[in-house]
Amino acid sequence: MKLYQLKVHEAHKLISDKEISSEELLLSVLNRIEDVEGMVQGFVTVTGDYARKKAREADEKIARGEAVGPLTGIPFALKDNMCSKDILTTCSSKILKNFIPPYNAEVFDRLEEQGAVLVGKTNMDEFAMGSSTENSGYFTTRNPWDPARVPGGSSGGSAAVAAADEVLFALGSDTGGSIRQPASYCGVVGMKPTYGRVSRYGLIAFASSLDQIGPLTRDVRDCALVMNAICGHDPKDSTSTPVEVPDYSSFIGEEIKGIRMGIAEEYFSLGINHEVKDMVEEAVAGLEGLGMEKVELSLPHTSYALPAYYLVNPAEASSNLARYDGIRYGFRYEDSESLLETYKKTRSVGFGAEVKRRIMLGTYALSSGYYDAYYLRAQKVRTLIKKDFDQAFEKCDVIVAPTAPTVAFRTGEKVRDPLQMYLNDVFTIPVSMSGLPAVSIPCGFIKGLPVGLQIIGKAFDEGTILKVAGAFEESMPFKNMKPAFGSYSRGGV
């Protein structure tokens, strides 16, 4: 096994036992990036020199006999909407093509305190608006399982580089499914924590009542380790919740017998591909075989989640993106004859088509005479969706569902039809609208393409989700499968 193929917990043991150094692990990862990045195109920026400096610092710390944390010396990537001091942060948008933040996102600071080693910033749909990474202002990331297909979005770059072994883990952000859906398409583990569990300080805002940062990892144990590092109250974020954070690693390997598993009929009927449905139903049967109790239930307002989301989401985007005016930072259109023309031309040239579409939709929904009819009504529907989950969790401990209605689709297949693109998030959006935690884990393959199983939990009960996910993962025979491309020495599908 190559060093870049190690999982986080495996690399941690080797580093702790001084069998490998952080610099050796980093060199393997940087060589891997050089080898396959031309195909994957997952990075906007590779921070090689910065990573070498941090790896040396980790090795010096170990040489002094200081305690080694579970992420010390571990190479990782950040989605390019998380601020990194003195390192380019673009949101994959031309309007921020030259933006270098003066401070770090809180999650980045927490990972650096652990001694983790940043190797780069990953590609994404511009300002996190999209489901395929085709809306990036720079280039489209490719799916490592099939380069002709998308990796999902908006955290497509983070999911792809994790799947391609270009880093040992990555962080993404999830507004309506932007961690879970690409995790499903790329065959990795992706968790959206409870809203308020992870600080949003330094996350460039898209839809502030929905955005949440979470990990993309190679297995559930690694997911728990990263969650331990990034979760917790942050006084710099007014939406951060002061709720105690357990040791998520302690849930891995625990018995799941007797845990009640809710199955909502709506998640198995709304446009789901029949092969995906069959695969998820097999996974449900597998969980029953592990001792979980199946509970049939209904989430009756599920079908309203998508239209409600696409009013709340653009409205908040319209407000948040008003700050990009070409005056204070980022791209500025220079050849203007007036201040008003500078505003117009900067935003017209700097923003891509999908971002402009959502700004216009959101501005319309918030406008005088339409606010009550659209935005306010969408928020009322959001409350009904949350009540559905509250009632469901009186009967069960977790809800199990598909992550996405299909496997990864071909690049260009849906780019001209925004409505079809939006439907890719039909099973993840209701969870986001309710602020609940959920994880996507691989549950099988269809014609060589991964299928994701979504496990949804009660607010701040990520531990139970990880317990169930870990037990399921351990029972799966394909848990070490890799995409068969590049310089892999062990098989794929």
pLDDT tens digits, one per residue of 60-118: 999 999 989 999 999 999 999 999 999 999 999 999 999 999 999 999 999 999 999 99
Query: Regarding beta strands 117-122 and 75-79, do their DSSP bridges make them parallel or antiparallel, or are they unpaired?
Result: parallel
Rounded (5°) CA angle 325-320-138: 70
- All residues at 6 or more sequence positions from 344 whose CB lies less than 8 Å from its CB, including other chains: none
Q: 264-275 pLDDT, tens per residue?
A: 999 998 789 999
Q: Which one of the listed residues 132, 178, 240, 434 is annotated catalytic?
A: 178
* Mean pLDDT on 218-223: 98
Active site residue 475: no
Q: 345-375 pLDDT, tens per residue?
A: 999 999 999 999 999 999 999 998 899 999 9
HSE-CB of 466 using CA atoms within 13 angstroms: 28
Q: 391-441 pLDDT, tens per residue?
A: 999 999 999 999 999 999 999 999 888 888 988 999 999 999 999 999 999
Active site residue 154: yes
- 142-174 burial string, b = 16+ CB within 10 Å, else e? bbbbbeebbbbbbbbbbbbbbbbbbbbbbbbbb
pLDDT at 485 over 90: no
pLDDT at 136 over 70: yes
Three-state SS for 79?
strand
What pLDDT shows up at residue 368? 87
Taking the C-alpha atoms of residue 374 and residue 382, their distance in angstroms, rounded to an integer, is 12
Tokens 């005016």 belong to 325
What pLDDT shows up at residue 477? 87
Q: What is the mean pLDDT of the chain?
A: 95
Domain covering 3-257+468-475 in this structure, CATH number: 3.90.1300.10
Active site residue 345: no
Q: Which one of the listed residues 79, 121, 192, 458 is annotated catalytic?
A: 79
Residue 471 tokens read as 């037990």
Taking the C-alpha atoms of residue 379 and residue 441, their distance in angstroms, rounded to an integer, is 30
**Torsion, Cα of 141, 144, 145, 147 (10° steps):** 50
What are the CA-CA distances from residue 428 to residues 146, 148, 402, 422, 424 (Å)?
A: 23, 24, 9, 11, 9
* Mean pLDDT on 210-231: 98
What pLDDT shows up at residue 433? 98
Q: Which one of the listed residues 28, 93, 136, 154 is annotated catalytic?
A: 154
pLDDT at 460 over 60: yes
pLDDT at 51 over 80: yes
pLDDT at 300 over 70: yes
Three-state SS for 285?
helix
**Torsion, Cα of 422, 427, 433, 437 (10° steps):** -130
What pLDDT shows up at residue 337? 86
For residue 481, name the pLDDT band (cuts at 50, 70, 90): confident
Q: Where exactly are the structural domains of the chain?
A: 3-257+468-475
